[in-house]
Amino acid sequence: MTPPRGLTAATWPAALAVGGLLGACGLLGACGRDHRGDAAGSSAAAGGGAGIAAGGDARAVVGPGGAGPGGPGGDGVSAGEVGAPTHSFHPDLGAAFARVLRDRPRVLGVGELHVRTDRPAATSALARFTAEVMPALGPTVSDLVIETWLVDPACRIAGAATQRVEAAMKRPESTKDEIGGLVGVIKQNGIKAHVMRLSCDDLAQVAPADGVDAEKLLDVVTRELGRVTRSAVRYRDERAEARPLIVVYGGALHNDLYPFKSTAQWSYAAAVDEASGGRFVEVDLYLPELIEGQALYEQEPWYPLVAATPAGQVLLVERAPHSWLAVLPRS
């Protein structure tokens, strides 16, 4: 396989296995400075009007050089520095999502940087999303697509191939329990859960006996997340579903509305945005433990805001229209 610019055949698979931008680009600085192009840094508050989930955090969004109502510190939010991207601070992830929902998404693509056994230990983004976002979001969600898969039980290679992928990804054992916790909340709220479906041929290509083909794995995940999500949109639209929201939860590479050229093929966002009439919104969830010391993130205009975030709060940044990132509190 041919790795993108800045990655070698030896380092590309290992980099991808980290998950999201940290894996594919950030770990080795392969994708250039600003993957969101001209849209980043020039965005104003997108959307407006009442959000799907009313209420939430009362803090105002802070724009370049601005502050909350009443001037600097008017609502407890410090004034932004000149040139700082639009941002706000929130007491928890649920309050941050209430702000995002003002964009009135039809599909909300949530992407995380995957926790790994060879990275600093931290409370995962998935655990926080389940505990802090889903209780309020649940009643508005019809479908939730999860980046995990089922295979044909008749496939003889399924077990061994899946084990090879899990070993390459280095996901903690706790991840399975956390997915189970999310599924529990899904059931409590009457949400239809969807997972990817991999054929035996998919697994044979993704995880042959001699290892894991990282590019093929990304191809399959992107294909399946996009296929399942577009199908859910079409099904609900045909039936005039009362619940307004479909959520996708996966890695912070596949949901990119403004991807790197070298990784654009691994984002389902453009196709889902078209299927949803331009109402796809992405939110990336970053743990500070996973972005510290990574040049790709440290050179972003929002990165200085991480140090300025009050202890225990969530930093929410609007990078571009319908594109958000949330930096979670340190564990």
The per-residue pLDDT for range 117-131, each reduced to its tens digit, is 777 778 899 999 999
User: If DSSP codes are grouped into helix, strand and coil, which group holds residue 59?
Assistant: coil
pTM for this entry: 0.78
Per-residue pLDDT, 117: 77
Lookup: tokens for 26: 């950030």
Task: Please write the tens of the pLDDT for every residue from 180-206.
Answer: 899 999 999 999 999 999 999 999 999
Beta strands in the chain (DSSP E): 87-90, 107-112, 141-151, 192-198, 245-251, 280-286, 314-320, 323-327
Over residues 4-10, the mean pLDDT reads 43
The mean per-residue pLDDT over the stretch 221-225 comes to 96
pLDDT at 39: 32
The answer to whether 328 touches 60, Cβ cutoff 8 Å, is: no
Grouping H, G, I as helix, E, B as strand and the rest as coil, residue 227 is helix
Per-residue pLDDT, 31: 36
Provide the pLDDT for residue 46: 27
Amino acid 81: pLDDT:
53
| Burial grade of 201 (CB within 10 A; 0-12, 13-18, 19 or more) | exposed
Residue 79 pLDDT class (50, 70, 90 cuts): very low
Contact 21, 252 (CB under 8 A): yes
Query: From its phi and psi, is residue 317 left (phi > 0), alpha (psi between -120 and 50) or beta?
Result: beta
Q: Give the integer Cα–Cα distance in Å for 150 and 87.
A: 38
> What confidence score (pLDDT) does residue 64 get?
31
pLDDT mean over 46-64:
28
What is the band of 282 on the pLDDT scale with cuts at 50, 70, 90?
Answer: very high
The domains of the chain are located at 12-44+60-327
| Mean of the per-residue pLDDT values of the chain | 78
Three-state secondary-structure class, residue 62: strand
Distance CA 218, CA 98 (A): 30
Task: Give, in degrees to the nearest 5, the angle at Cα 153 between 152 and 154.
Answer: 90
pLDDT at 114: 82
Owner of token pair 């410090």: 78
Write out pLDDT tens, residues 14-35.
334 334 333 333 322 333 333 3
The C-alpha atoms of residue 92 and residue 132 are separated, in whole angstroms, by 7
Across 87-102, average pLDDT: 97
One-letter amino acid of 208: P
Neighbours of 312 (CB within 10 A): 9
Cβ atoms of residues 128 and 175 within 8 Å? no
